[in-house]
Structure 1
Amino acid sequence: MSLVNAPLARLVEQGEVLLSETSDSAKLDAQVLLCHVLGKELSYLHTWPEKTIADGVFGQYARLLARRQNGEPVAYITGIREFWSLPFRVSPATLIPRPDTEVLVELVLAEHTQEQLSCLDLGTGTGAIALALASEQPGWQMDALDFNPEAVALARENARQLKLERVNIYQSDWFCQVPEGKKFEVIVSNPPYIDGEDKHLNEGDVRFEPETALVAAENGLADIIAIADRARDYLAAGGSLYFEHGFEQGAQVRQILTGLGYSNAATMKDYAGNDRITRANWII
């Protein structure tokens, strides 16, 4: 049966059927893709379920469904992912911001309530962490860096779109381009932390994400070790270091930090109850 003149509700139903074997959120994916081609919010589908769409728009929707059927993440198809209730542009040059990373933002904001503070975001990608923090704390001096020039350009574009251009975003391989002697009260990072042999690299959205932003040597811990080591030269006295990491890495990350002389290492859980964020203080 042709769906060209079918109502929106029927188009969503058919999209859900097509995506049911690809996605755990097939209905939502179909709704998001349909709204994307319509240029409408999700509420439009609930308000006008009986509306129909033009042939050309239907063709666009069908092509987007085919891409999702092939496993391509919805965020890469639409070019947008919401994080911290802010719309972030995304591209295959960066990781897709995930809800669990909001736990890191929440923790930093809860533990640092002062109006003036210096913060560095290492491996910023889309700029999600740095820009979310800046949106809540306009008085903070935020630096954000990434080794990938495409990611830097994208993060700067997000800063412009969100009117958060005071965030200093630049290219650097971890601390290489951070001025010597510069000190930060907070350093945050969501670095690569997946082991190269992890079977999950062949599943779901991560198949389409840049491997350099996902995979690290030494069972996924190499970048965490390198950052924790160098961060000691850039943290102010009593400064705090925060990592997002794998759900089985909490104890290892705490051990790494304690072994490097950090104090008060502690791990917090994500929304699913898994170890996700570890923080510690650098007390000289």
Structure 2
Amino acid sequence: MSGPIRLALVGMGKIARDQHLPAIASNPDIVLAATVSRHGEGEAGVPFFHSIEELAASGVEIDAVALCTPPQPRRAIAHFAIQQGWHVFLEKPPGATLAEVEALRDAADAKGVSLFASWHSRYAAGVEPARAWLATRDIRAVTITWREDVRVWHPGQDWIFEAGGFGVFDPGINALSIATRVLPRPFFVETAELDVPANRAAPIAARIAFRDAAGAPVTMDLDFRQEGPQSWDIVVETDAGTLTLAKGGGELSIAGGGEHAGDTDLHGEYPGLYRRFADIVRAGSSDVDITPLRLVADSFLTARINAIEPFDW
């Protein structure tokens, strides 16, 4: 492919405007060619459509799409895009189920287009240095604390508490995307406990106990009701001291010393995602790691469900 990748952004919600648009604008290998949204408006001077079918029928030349819709309808949109011969960037989580992501991967392979299951937290500044340091360490225990205020990050977005919306696992899968990247051994769900409000279908809090392949415990505490300072921390106890990834992977300290303090804003992560997407499109390959999604699915499969008081905005 010569020239920049002509990309359509599908789903013009908060994450698209806050993260995707700035990252696209900063990447010389990608140009915003269209936007698509059932609700709201597009960008000035850029063709806007209410559905991906309208986009396909318009004649606007497109090479790729980035899908920022909620996960529930995403498979059908992605499959339609693949059939047009467009490369597909999937916002996390890549789909509502494992089966549909695997089907999209097979469809992309058959069509000869690239599919990217993006995990933005893996592009936080401290993640790769942490992975390198942990590669030769004996892992003793891991504690993941991921607590944030849903009213701040998803204000009024009822879809996140609907079936297939993931609830507190929408941010929790970010933690799992980091943990599965930096820890040298796979880990597996042993027990899970999910707190589901009486008027919702997805959990607002969760506690999961994992164990890695060598027997080290990995515990995770998720909560969507955190007020004040937010907590996005992974603490790894090793034979050589304690490694801490704080602020969603943006800050790394080892044995109490600050080793890496990078850009802790998400604006540092999405440019990395788009660089990776451009690379795989140019290479004619795909990048579809479903390990974090599988751990979420396993948590739901093994969970004890606690019905708690209703949640309202």
Larger Rg, first or second structure (1 or 2): 1
TM-score range, shorter chain: 0.3 to 0.5
User: If the length of structure 1 is used for normalisation, what is the TM-score?
Assistant: 0.35
Comparing both structures, which one devotes a greater share of its residues to strand?
A: 2
